[in-house]
Amino acid sequence: MNARMMRVFDQDLWVVTKPGAKNRPPLLLFNGIGANVELAEPFMRAMGDVETIIFDIPGVGRSPLPALPYRPSTVARWTAALTRQLGYDKVDVAGVSWGGAIAQQFAHQNRGLCRRLILAATAAGGLMVPGKPSVLLKMASPRRYMDPDYLHSIAAEIYGGNFRLDPSLVKVHAENMKGASNLGYLYQLLAVAGWTSIFWLRTLKQPTLVVMGHDDPIVPLVNGRILTRMIPDARLEVMNCGHLFIVTLPHETAAIFRHFIAED
């Protein structure tokens, strides 16, 4: 992994890249809410020879807080400038959960830059079928990133899937979390407040893969079906897991992503 701080417009971003083959576009990954780049490193390594790029969202991990709150369109603008600074004129884009909203916005704003789109454990924003209120209430706070005991107590309920079956996964997950500051987490919540892609999903022209967990308490599977129906060139892949399959099943998830990226 190569890591460095990069200045984009007036914002510093902690950027991590995994080198790979130069005969195809790299995969640009947007992480979930409060998630630092280290959480995605096992998945990035599992991507093999696919060059992979990720950065800490401002206020998360090592990227400093922005001067002001931002919207998905702002993150998409930062990212477009970042990819060009890195020397790419085409990228494949993947977004996980909160990052899936940013990935949709990026594909919408940068149609020539985004070749393929992967939406994982995500939805169309405000107009979605929500998870259980008790789960969403726990997601509204960054406490799980700062209190390992609290994470242990709620992980099975909020993440579902393998976290219900294997408590040891919680310890591994907690050890990799650097998390968001309280204000950084609030900015991420504010960024998607009222945001929805539902009115322009049909305009997305990129081939799109929607990947969902069958036991996802945060983003129920039906949201993936809605995305697949609304995006013209989209198909759905359902994994036998919960919300965080990119963390609990990095090799299986990477295999699905790699196969999609390699298609003609």
By annotation, the residues acting in catalysis are: 97
Residue 134 Cα to chain centre, angstroms: 22
Sort residue 177 into left (φ over 0), alpha (ψ -120 to 50) or beta.
Answer: beta
3-state helix, strand, coil in the chain (%, to 5): 40, 20, 40
Report which residue type is found at 209: L
Q: Is 158 helix (H, G, I), strand (E, B) or coil?
A: helix
Tokens of 156: 């099975």
**SS3 assignment, position 27:** strand
Locate the DSSP E strands across 86-200.
Answer: 91-96, 114-120
Residue 147 has φ and ψ, to the nearest 5°, of -130, 95
Query: Are the CB atoms for 243 and 212 separated by under 8 Å?
Result: no
